[in-house]
Structure 1
C-alpha cells in the first residue's frame, strides 16, 4: 500500500466536473486578472470568515508582507513571532525592513507561548504575529491582552487555519488583520499560489488593496492620503475595465507590489470553499481515530486546547526515535513530513540576530521529535488502520 502525505488527486476527482467547468469558463472569458471571480471570491471568503474586508493577493507570504506594510511597520521596528513555524512568518517581517523577535512555543500545542512574549517587548516592538500552527489557534485572549497593554498590533498568521475556531470565533477575526495561504497543500487550496488578507479595518483594507497593485490608481491615491493625513478629493476614471485598461494605473502613489490572485485560482477556490467545513470535519474524524488507536503507543498524539476547534492542517506526532520511525513507515509505503527540523532562531539567515542553541528549548526539543502523518479527508478506513498498525509495529 502507498499512502501519500496529502492526496491532491483524490480531492480533484471528488469535484473534477466543477473544477473543469469553471477553469474552462475563465479561459474562454479571456478575463484572467482580477475581474468577477476574484471579486466574488473575496466577498464569499469575507462572509465565511465573518469580516468586512478580504483582499486577495498572489500568495500567503505576500499577504503577510502587505499586511505589515499596511500597518506602517518598517525599518527599525520589531515584530514578535513564533520560532516554530514556516520561514515566511519571519521572512515577511524582514522583507518590510523590521526585525523578527522569536519566542518559544508550548510543547503540547506547538503554538507561541504567551507567557514568554512580554519579556521580549521593547520600545521598538510594533506588532505580534501569532501563528495558528497546524490549524490550531494560538491563545489569542492572552496575546490580545498583552498587545492592548503595550499598544501593539496583531497580525494573525492563519496560513494553516482556514476554518479554525477559537472560543467560537473564526481564525482571522482575532486581531487587527489576518493572512491566509491557498498553497496546494492547504485545507483550502488552489492549483498554484494564492493568498488573502482579511480585516475589519477600512484603512488597512484600502492600503492593502493599493499595495497589491503597485500603489497606483484611485486606491493608491486613497492609501497615500490615509498614510499622510491628506483630505484631498480623489480623482476617478471611467475609462474602461480595470482588468484591461484604466489610465489611472499609470499614476503611482506608493511603492507597492505586483501581487494579484489569478482569476482561474479564484474560480477554483470558489468551487472548493463550500466543501471546506465538510473536509475539515472529516480531518477531525480521522484525527479522533488516530488519537484513540495511538494513545497506548510510543508516540505522543497532538493536544487540542479546550477552547479550540482545530482543522488538523497537519496531524503531528512526537516520537523519541523519529528517524527510525519515519524510515520504517517509508519502507511500508507511508509518507510522512517533518515540521519543522530547524527552528527559525537557529536558521543561518538569522545568525546575526545572536540567537544560539538552548535559547528556545521547547522548539528545539520538538524540532528533533515531531513528524506528520496523513490526515487528508479522502483517507479510507483501511488506510488509517494500516498507518496505525505500522506505527505501533
Structure 2
C-alpha cells in the first residue's frame, strides 16, 4: 500500500531524541519553555517571518490558545468555513462562542471572502480562514473585511506550513496563525502545534495560557491549561524544519506530475494553484464527478492509500446542523473529493501506480 502520507524520520531526528534522553531534561513548565522548545520556536519564527512562535502540544491546542489569547468568549461569534477538520470550529465551543459556518470557493476549497462579507455581524469577534490542503485563502480580501469590522483573524495554517500568499508566509498575515505538527503534516514530531503572532501582548498571553496561565510558578494570572510541547517533540521538530524546503520541493514536483497526468482523465478535476499562491501541496486532492466512494475503495484495494478529507461538511455534523444553513460548495466537495499520496517518499514507480490505478478506477465506474 502506498500510504497517504509517510513521516520522514532520519538520523538527525533520532540523534536529537537521544540528546534529550541523555540530558534527562524532558519537560519544562516555565514561562519561556525549555531550551529545546525555545530553539525550535526560534527556527519556526524565522521560517514563517514573524516575531513570535509559541510551541504547543497540538494544532487543536494552538487554535484553543489563540481564541483564549484574543479573549473570545460567550456572546462572541466566530466565522469559519464549513469544509475543514472539525477542530477549526469546535474549539470555539470550548470558549462558549457561537460558530457561524460559511461556504467555500469551488476552485480552492478555501473560505469564500464574499460569504464572509455577507454574513459578518457586530458580534463577529474572529474570522478563521483555513488554508485548506496547503492552498492559501484570499487573505487581502479577508483582512480588509476584518479591519473594516474590528475583527480578529486567526489563520488556520495547520496544513499550510511553507505555503505563501503573494510572497508572504501563511500564518504571518492575520492576528494569529495556528499550525499542526501531526504525523500527516509536511513536518511532524508526532503530535505538536505552533501559534505565531507579531503582537507582543498576545505572545505573552499565549505563553501563559499554555502553562496554566502562569508567568511565574504558581501565579496563574489568566485562564490556562497544560498545552506545553515536551522537549522530545521540540527536538524532533527542530530537525524537521531544517528539511522543510526539501520536503516541499518534492511535494511540488509530485503535484506537478499528477496534475499533468490526471488532467487527461475525463471526469476528474485536478487541484489548482492560483497566481497569488505558492502551495506546499500538503494534500493533493482531486474532484471526481461521480461514484467517489467506489473509486476510493478500488484505489485502496489496489494499493493506493486514497483518503477522503472530509466526507461530512461541518454544517451536517450534529454539533452544528441545527444552527447552520445549506452550504452547497462545502456539501459538493464532501461528496466528490479524493486525496491521493503526494508525500516526498513517493518513488517514480509509486507516482505511475497512482495515476494508472486511478485511470482504471475511473474507467470502471465512470
TM-score class, shorter-chain normalisation, is over 0.9
1:206 corresponds to which residue?
Answer: 204
Alignment partner of 2:276 out of 297, 304, 307? 307
Q: Considering only CA atoms, is the larger Rg found in Structure 1 or Structure 2?
A: 1
1:341 corresponds to which residue?
Answer: 311
- 1:290 Cα offset (Å): 0.5
1:146-161, aligned counterparts within 5 Å? 146-161=145-160
- 1:326 Cα offset (Å): 1.1
Q: SS at 2:315's partner residue?
A: helix
1:181 corresponds to which residue?
Answer: 180
Q: Is the 8 A contact 2:82 2:330 kept in 1?
A: yes
1:90 corresponds to which residue?
Answer: 89
| Cα deviation 1:60-117 (Å, max 9, x = unaligned) | 1111111111111111100111110000100111111111111100111000011111
Alignment partner of 1:33 out of 27, 31, 35? 27
| Cα deviation 1:135-181 (Å, max 9, x = unaligned) | 01100011011111111111100000110000000011111110001
1:181-330, aligned counterparts within 5 Å? 181-190=180-189, 192-216=190-214, 219=215, 248-297=216-265, 298-319=267-288, 320-330=290-300
Q: Which runs of 5+ in 1 are unaligned?
A: 220-247
- 1:392 Cα offset (Å): 1.2
Alignment partner of 1:381 out of 345, 348, 362? 348
- 1:123 Cα offset (Å): 1.7
Q: What is the rounded CA distance, in whole Å, between the counterparts of 2:103 and 2:162 in structure 1? A: 25
TM-score (norm 1): 0.88
Q: What is the rounded CA distance, in whole Å, between the counterparts of 2:162 and 2:107 in structure 1? A: 21
Alignment partner of 1:360 out of 327, 331, 348? 327
Q: Which runs of 5+ in 2 are unaligned?
A: 29-33, 361-366
Establish whether residue 391 from structure 1 lines up as the match of residue 358 from structure 2: yes
- Runs of at least 4 residues of structure 1 off by over 6 A? none
Establish whether residue 44 from structure 1 lines up as the match of residue 43 from structure 2: yes
Q: What is the rounded CA distance, in whole Å, between the counterparts of 2:63 and 2:108 in structure 1? A: 23
Q: SS at 1:318's partner residue?
A: strand
Q: SS at 1:250's partner residue?
A: coil
Q: What is the rounded CA distance, in whole Å, between the counterparts of 2:321 and 2:331 in structure 1? A: 16
Q: Is the 8 A contact 2:122 2:149 kept in 1?
A: no
- 1:251 Cα offset (Å): 2.1
Establish whether residue 21 from structure 1 lines up as the match of residue 15 from structure 2: yes
Q: SS at 2:122's partner residue?
A: coil
Q: Is the 8 A contact 2:251 2:280 kept in 1?
A: yes
Alignment partner of 1:351 out of 321, 329, 341? 321
Q: SS at 1:198's partner residue?
A: strand
Q: SS at 2:320's partner residue?
A: helix
